[in-house]
Structure 1
Amino acid sequence: MKKIILLLTICAMTSIVYSQKDRELKLNEETNLIEVKEYHDNGLISQEGTFNLEGQLHGEWVSFNDRGEKISKGSYVNGQRTGKWYFWLGNSVKEVEYSKNAIASIDGVKNKTRLADNH
Structure 2
Amino acid sequence: MKKTLLFLAFVFSICIYAQDNKPTFEKVGDMVKATYYHNNGEIAQTGYYKDGKLHGEWEMFDEKGQKVAVGTYDMGKRAGKWLFWEGKMLKEVDFTDNRIASVVQLKDSEGVVIKQ
TM-score category (smaller protein):
0.7 to 0.9
TM-score normalised by length of structure 1: 0.72
Where does structure 1 lack aligned partners over 5 or more consecutive residues? 1-20, 115-119
Structure 2 partner of 1:23: 23
State the SS of the aligned residue for 1:22: coil
TM-score normalised by length of structure 2: 0.73
Q: In the aligned structure 2, how far is the partner of 1:89 from the partner of 1:105? A: 18
Per-residue CA distance 1:34-61 (angstroms, 9 max, x = gap):
0001111111100000000x21000000
Structure 2 partner of 1:104: 101
Q: Given residue 27 of structure 1, which amino acid in structure 2 is its aligned partner?
A: K
Structure 2 partner of 1:48: 46
Where does structure 2 lack aligned partners over 5 or more consecutive residues? 1-20, 112-116
Q: In the aligned structure 2, how far is the partner of 1:44 from the partner of 1:68? A: 6
Number of residue pairs aligned between Structure 1 and Structure 2: 91
Q: Which has the larger radius of gyration?
A: 2
> Is residue 48–residue 56 contact of structure 2 (8 Å, CA) maintained in 1?
yes
Give 4+ residue runs of structure 1 displaced > 2 Å after superposition.
111-114
Per-residue CA distance 1:3-22 (angstroms, 9 max, x = gap):
xxxxxxxxxxxxxxxxxx62
Q: Which has the higher contact order (CA 8 A, sep 6+)?
A: 1
Q: 1:27 to 1:113 in 2, by over 3 A?
A: farther
